[in-house]
């Protein structure tokens, strides 16, 4: 068969636009570079990101690493056509995850998988990464954009991120001094954060028939606006207390709810007694529970119920902290009875 009879196929015909990818990288280089500090030794586009450990700033540092995603909150963002918040969600979620061990973020790496690469959408997603990295003093030193037609629908995308932080050995959390009588304070969440969206979408969209544009009186805004509230970072609020012996432990309330996450930082001989008043549970959660006839147990297992971070402190620090911050008194630690590690009373 002669060559002119053969139909040629290239990567673009297969659904992958290399030039669009190159254009997207060019468009974000200056934005990403704005997160750099003196410890970043590589440019965007290198095979690996280079980051120098400042030995003068640390005595006996421990590296802390975490990887996470945004989950089906992405589907709400796609439906609403809003792409600059989910990047913030991802960075802040990862920052909080290492914060519970006392670590300060050093650098972040992102992964974006798409069905069809749109430089405009990518740029907006990166805007969120950049904003959150700058707010958390964290360098965005690299990432990956993968165009995968067939695996994703053209409008679909997925996000994942990896964060590396450091903590001094002497300041690692939770502390071994955690004990009976320590006080539990809850820091308010900004919304659902990045967990429970599969159940929330089932109730709000499928059962109640709402859309992202539906104005909800109980929320005083459109549903999409409420659902896309950015996952709050607690780094600035808690950083001044990380070196204090009065702070015993932190628990980031994500999938698994208050009980599932608080129990992760408690030693076997201690339990937590939690009293969360209905008045302290934001309207969005009450809307979901009522609209889907969701049991209280399922709500507790799925959502943060308005508490994004729980601080375990000795009584003296807790009293001072509560005066200076918008913290909710949730209860205290008691001796374990061998039953539930976290009890709602």
- Residue range 51-73: mean pLDDT, rounded: 96
The reply to whether domains 16-171 and 183-344 share a CATH topology is no
Any alpha helices (H) in the chain, and if so which ranges? Answer: 18-33, 73-80, 86-99, 119-135, 197-201, 223-227, 235-238, 257-262, 283-292, 296-302, 315-324
pLDDT of residue 14: 67
- Residue range 236-256: mean pLDDT, rounded: 97
Three-state secondary structure string covering 196-257: CHHHHHHHHHHHCCCCCCCEECCCCEEHHHHHCCCCCCCHHHHHHHCCCCCEEEEEECCCCH
Fold classification of 183-344 is Phosphoribosyl-aminoimidazole Synthetase; Chain A, domain 2 (3.90.650)
Q: Name the pLDDT band for 191 (thresholds 50, 70, 90).
A: very high
Omega of the bond leading into 174 within 30 degrees of 0 (cis): yes
Q: Name the pLDDT band for 25 (thresholds 50, 70, 90).
A: confident
Delimit the domains of the chain by residue range: 16-171, 183-344
pLDDT of residue 1: 47
Architecture of domain 16-171: 2-Layer Sandwich (3.30)
Instruction: Report yes or no: 166 and 61 within 8 Å, Cβ to Cβ.
Output: yes
DSSP three-state, residue 331: strand
What is the C-alpha R_g of the chain? 22
Please state the pTM of the whole predicted model: 0.93
Q: Which distant-in-sequence residues (6+ apart) come within 8 Å of 13 by Cβ?
A: none
Q: Which residue has the higher pLDDT, 196 or 44?
A: 196
């Amino acid at each position: 068969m002669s060559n002119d009879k053969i139909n040629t196929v290239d990567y673009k015909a297969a659904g992958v636009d290399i030039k669009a990818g190159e254009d997207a990288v060019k468009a974000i280089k200056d934005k990403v570079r704005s997160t750099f500090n003196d410890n970043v030794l590589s440019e965007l586009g290198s095979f690996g990101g280079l980051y120098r450990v400042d030995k003068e700033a640390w005595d006996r540092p421990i590296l802390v690493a975490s990887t996470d995603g945004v989950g089906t909150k992405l589907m709400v963002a796609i439906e609403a056509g809003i792409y600059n918040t989910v990047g913030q969600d991802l960075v802040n979620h990862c920052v909080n995850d290492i914060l519970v061990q006392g670590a300060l973020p050093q650098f972040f790496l992102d992964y974006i998988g798409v069905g069809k690469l749109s430089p405009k959408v990518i740029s907006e997603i990166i805007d969120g990464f950049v904003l959150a990295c700058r707010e958390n003093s964290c360098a965005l030193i690299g990432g990956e954009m993968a165009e995968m037609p067939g695996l994703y629908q053209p409008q679909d995308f997925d996000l994942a991120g990896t964060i590396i932080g450091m903590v001094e050995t002497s300041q690692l959390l939770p502390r071994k001094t955690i004990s009976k009588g320590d006080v539990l304070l809850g820091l308010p969440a900004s919304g659902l954060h990045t967990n429970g969206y599969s159940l929330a979408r089932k109730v709000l969209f499928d059962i109640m028939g709402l859309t992202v544009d539906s104005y909800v009186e109980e929320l005083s805004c459109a549903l999409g606006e409420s659902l896309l509230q950015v996952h709050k970072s607690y780094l600035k609020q808690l950083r001044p207390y990380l070196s204090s012996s009065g702070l015993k432990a932190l628990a980031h309330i994500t999938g698994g709810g208050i009980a599932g996450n608080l129990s992760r930082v408690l030693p076997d001989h201690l339990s937590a007694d939690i009293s969360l008043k209905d008045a302290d549970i934001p309207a969005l959660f009450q809307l979901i529970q009522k609209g889907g006839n969701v049991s209280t147990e399922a709500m507790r297992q799925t959502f943060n119920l308005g508490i994004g971070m729980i601080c375990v402190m000795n009584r003296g620090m807790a009293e001072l902290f509560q005066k200076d911050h918008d913290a909710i008194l949730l209860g205290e630690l008691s001796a374990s009875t061998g039953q539930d590690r976290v009890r709602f009373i």
